[in-house]
Amino acid sequence: MTALSRPCLQQLAPSRATQRGRASLTKPRHLRSVVLASTTQALAIEADRLSVSFKGSSGHKQVLKRASLQVPEGSFHILLGPNGCGKSTLLRALGGLLTPDSGTVMVNGPHGFVFQNPDHQLVLPTVAADVAFGLGRLRLAADDVNRRVQQALRAVSMEDFADRPVHTLSGGQKQRAAIAGVLAQDPKVLLLDELTTFLDDDDREGVIRAVKGLVGGPSRVTALWVTHRLEELPEADGASYMEDGRVITTGSPRGIAKHLAKLGARVPMLR
């Protein structure tokens, strides 16, 4: 099945612009052929010309400016860009946490969102209780809940922390517990917003290792990893670079590193 013939499992409600013309739900012919020619793998995420603006005291500010992004299924994809360029806004639009003014989103399969600050995501006193929290709405038998919690904790190497009070964890352990909370719900796509911002190097490595362990495994989980840390680039299967509300370029980590070096950035992997 080609990427474009896949069902849109998460199609955002038509926005003002799409309601008017519906045009943005269909790709122009030339774009369609480019996508088919360049994509050998199915896509887990496809955002097409998303625009988002926010109302502020000084009027509307356009934060996403026809931003488009494609992420192959089963990949660890990094979204890089300077602070304020719109990375979190794009991720939130992908996760259905905000509705764009125009453009379309396809996320192929259930998704889980993990925020920059785990203290905003972990709400219950112990790790196991927290990981089980999101399962409440599924009305599972207690055995199934326990099994899913254990599996999710194992997947991020946190099985020994099940009974630990959340406040005794390090930042990286909290992030891994937050990821487990999302994993227990069996997502196909992980949307991960700057998980390593507040972490030291050891914790950072632990979180990256945990996410990489989930990607490309039998369940073909896809991770979109937002960061502004260039040193994380070599970890990725692919990467995109954003600037001022647009995705400027997408390619291999090395290709993106070279692009950034041309812009004047000191990229550790090219040293």
Ligand X SMILES: Nc1ncnc2c1ncn2[C@@H]1O[C@H](COP(=O)(O)OP(=O)(O)O)[C@@H](O)[C@H]1O
Residue 215 DSSP one-character state: B
Tokens of 55: 């109302």
Q: Are strands 189-193 and 111-114 parallel, antiparallel or unpaired?
A: parallel
One of 18, 51, 88, 104 touching ligand X (CB under 6 A):
88
To Mg ion, the closest distance from the beta carbon of 85 in angstroms equals 9
To ligand X, the closest distance from the beta carbon of 262 in angstroms equals 21
Contact 14, 8 (CB under 8 A): no
Contact 114, 175 (CB under 8 A): yes
One of 22, 32, 54, 268 touching ligand X (CB under 6 A):
54
| Under rule CB under 6 A, residue 81 binds ligand X | yes
Of 247, 243, 245, nearest to 77 by C-alpha is 247
How many Cα atoms are found within 13 Å in the side-chain-facing hemisphere of 184?
A: 29
| Under rule CB under 6 A, residue 85 binds ligand X | yes
Amino acid at 251: G
Q: Please report, as residue ranges, which positions from 127 to 186 form the binding site for Mg ion (by CB under 5 A).
A: none
Stretch of 40-48, 85-93, 102-110, 138-146 contacting ligand X, by CB under 6 A: 85-93
One of 56, 59, 136, 264 touching ligand X (CB under 6 A):
56
* Binding letters toward Mg ion, positions 69-108, x by CB under 5 A: ------------------xx--------------------
Residue 88 or 222: the one with the smaller Cβ distance to Mg ion is 88
Contact 68, 95 (CB under 8 A): no
To ligand X, the closest distance from the beta carbon of 123 in angstroms equals 22
Contact 87, 79 (CB under 8 A): yes
Q: Which does 89 bind (CB under 5 to 8 A by kind): Mg ion, ligand X, none?
A: ligand X
Residue 75 or 227: the one with the smaller Cβ distance to ligand X is 227
Q: Locate tokens 């487990």: which residue?
A: 180
Stretch of 19-27, 77-85, 139-147, 255-263 contacting ligand X, by CB under 6 A: 77-85
Stretch of 41-49, 66-74, 87-95, 157-165 contacting ligand X, by CB under 6 A: 87-95
Q: With CB under 5 A, what is the number of residues at the site for Mg ion?
A: 2
Contact 162, 127 (CB under 8 A): yes
| Under rule CB under 6 A, residue 86 binds ligand X | yes
Q: How many of the other CB atoms lie within 10 Å of CB of 120?
A: 9
Residue 263, class by beta-carbon neighbours within 10 Å (0-12 exposed, 13-18 middle, 19+ buried)? exposed
Measure the CA–CA gap between 167 and 156, rounded to whole angstroms.
18
Residue 150 or 197: the one with the smaller Cβ distance to Mg ion is 197
One of 68, 75, 89, 196 touching ligand X (CB under 6 A):
89
Tokens of 194: 């700057």
Q: Which does 56 bind (CB under 5 to 8 A by kind): ligand X, Mg ion, none?
A: ligand X
Q: Locate tokens 């209780």: which residue?
A: 129
Which residues bind to Mg ion, rule: CB under 5 A? Answer: 87-88
Which residues bind to ligand X, rule: CB under 6 A? Answer: 54, 56, 63, 81, 83-89
